[in-house]
Amino acid sequence: MTVTESRTEHHVDTREALLDAAEALFSEHGIQASSLRMITHQAGANLAAVHYHFGSKEGLVRAVFARRLQPLQEERFRLLEACDLSGGVEGKGVEQVIHAFVAPLIRRMRETPDGAHAFAQLMGRVFSEPSEDVRSMLIQELKPSADRFVDALRQLLPHLADKELMWRFQFLAGGMGHTVSCQKMVARFSEGVCGGDPDEMLRYLVTFMASGLRAPATAEPDLQGEPA
Amino acid sequence: MTVTESRTEHHVDTREALLDAAEALFSEHGIQASSLRMITHQAGANLAAVHYHFGSKEGLVRAVFARRLQPLQEERFRLLEACDLSGGVEGKGVEQVIHAFVAPLIRRMRETPDGAHAFAQLMGRVFSEPSEDVRSMLIQELKPSADRFVDALRQLLPHLADKELMWRFQFLAGGMGHTVSCQKMVARFSEGVCGGDPDEMLRYLVTFMASGLRAPATAEPDLQGEPA
DNA sequence: GTCTATATAGCGATAGAC
DNA sequence: GTCTATCGCTATATAGAC
């Protein structure tokens, strides 16, 4: 009740309240562990309201993602189009593309702590989501964006074979996803040192990932330095 | 039944069969979504066997992790001790430390496809596990290892402030965790290009992460290159 | 559109026979 | 050490009054 806040009179919009409550609870406890009873209670709505507005729990899950993912992707595209890809591996384009990919998520974490922040945490987590429904929805929603970013990186890093290029994009996405979705764990592992400021994290992340992306192509096996 | 296979006569070891089944189901569907009924059915055991052997579902979860985590950590430590930390940022120590951290997981994925492979997937996923029980067990189990790796990196990268060093370790851990736990998603995003060979992934990962770790320290804000 | 009441099913856990 | 039977609880979903 206190968490959602919005409805002081009675209900501003039950549908939105349900989405807010579901987002917060999904990110806090996971999708599976968030019951419709918890969600409707936190939203100040009736249990049956979920089925009226979204048809099922699955429909609610889809709606929670769609609401945030579309504007996020649009912002990523806008930033990507503003990147200067002409400088190649030595130009600032590498940093710019990473920034375009990560910053929209970080910005939302900073600006709406109890909305997008929860969503960012959920986004990172949901990649290892066991439900095939959620998985295929994510692919459908994110694949076009991922492809465009890989295309941009291909222009910047033409010396890389496609396979290595795609792996590097995965390392970038994974590093971002981990730090965003596992913030509590990260903070506990670093004893609080890596808590707090998302913008600081973003700067460190851009430095690290840009250097990783710029690395020379990996040589064929046996040149690999393995201890002992 | 067909999955676990082992017990053709009647039961080789119910306890082990339960651990195997739990590991497989946890990694496939998540911990919360794997019921004791599913687990005991797959293990060819009785529902009550879980409570006899492990006391509760929570006890079973702990046992699943403990069985794999202890030998994994020991191998990491052995490899870490063999690393040459004297060469600083320019030496091969950076690659060696990354390798020591990641390779034990990869090796298990390669060698026991239906055991450690499932566990590796579970390991990556469980970092965003909502259950506080699981979270604190993971911290307890992994923190000493993480600290020793951060110490090694500190020796190799003395020019980095501690905060940035720890963030870089998190980016490394996140990139590894993502690629290991989200293999199916990674393969689908790359349309199969990034599937298959774990050793190839390991080589690419070492190249990428070593370059990221070696990056010069991040400058204070406003020097950051941001698009438009 | 929102409510109460309920149907149907699955959950973790336990008692007690064997 | 393994079994059956069952308790107490919660889940999603739906029917029907308002």
The angle, 0 to 180 degrees and rounded to 10, between the axes of the packed helices A198-214 and A162-181 is: 160
Task: Please report the pLDDT score of residue B7 as a whole number.
Answer: 36
Strand C, CB < 7 A, residues 3-22 of A: 11, 14
pLDDT (0 to 100) of residue A2: 36
List all residues 6 or more positions away from B196 whose beta carbon is below 8 Å from its beta carbon: none
Instruction: Calculate the angstrom distance between C1' of D15 and CA of B165.
Output: 60
CB B124 within 8 A of CB A174: no
Instruction: Out of A30-34, A77-81, B223-227, pick the least confident.
Output: B223-227
- Which position has the higher pLDDT, B227 or A93? A93
Q: What pLDDT was estimated at residue A116? A: 63
pLDDT of residue B202: 96
Q: What gap in Å lies between CA B17 and CA B28, rounded to an integer?
A: 17
pLDDT band at B1 (very low <50, low <70, confident <90, very high): very low
What is the C-alpha to C-alpha distance for residues A91 and B45, in angstroms, rounded to an integer?
61
Q: Tell me the per-residue pLDDT of B41-64, one tens digit each, with 9 for 90 and over.
A: 999 999 999 999 999 999 999 999
pLDDT value, residue B115: 62
The yes-or-no verdict on residue A67 having pLDDT over 60 is yes
Dump pLDDT digits (tens) for A126-176: 776 667 777 888 888 899 999 999 999 999 999 999 999 999 999 999 999
Cβ of A48 < 7 Å from strand D? yes
Quote helix, strand, coil % in chain B, to nearest 5.
70, 0, 30
B54 touches strand D (CB under 7 A): no
The pLDDT of residue A225 is above 60: no
Find the length of chain A. 228
pLDDT at B223 over 80: no
Start-end of H helices in chain A: 14-29, 36-43, 49-54, 57-81, 93-111, 116-125, 132-156, 162-181, 183-189, 198-214
Between B127 and A104, name the one with better pLDDT. A104
pLDDT of the residue at B10: 46
Average pLDDT, chain A: 87
- Among A23-32, A35-44, A51-60, B120-129, the minimum mean pLDDT is found in B120-129
Tokens found for residue A109: 């974490």
Question: What would the two tokens of residue A170 be?
Answer: 């995965």
Please state, in angstroms and as integers, the Cα–Cα distance from residue A29 to each residue in A68, A208, B203, following that order.
19, 31, 35
Range 19-38, chain B: CB under 7 Å to any strand C atom = 34-38
Amino acid whose CA is nearest the C1' of C15: B48
What residues of chain A lie within 8 A of the CB of B31, using their CB? none
pLDDT tens profile B124-146? 778 777 678 888 888 888 999 99
Judging contacts by C-beta atoms under 8 Å, the chain B residues touching residue A170 are: 175, 178-179, 186, 189-190, 194
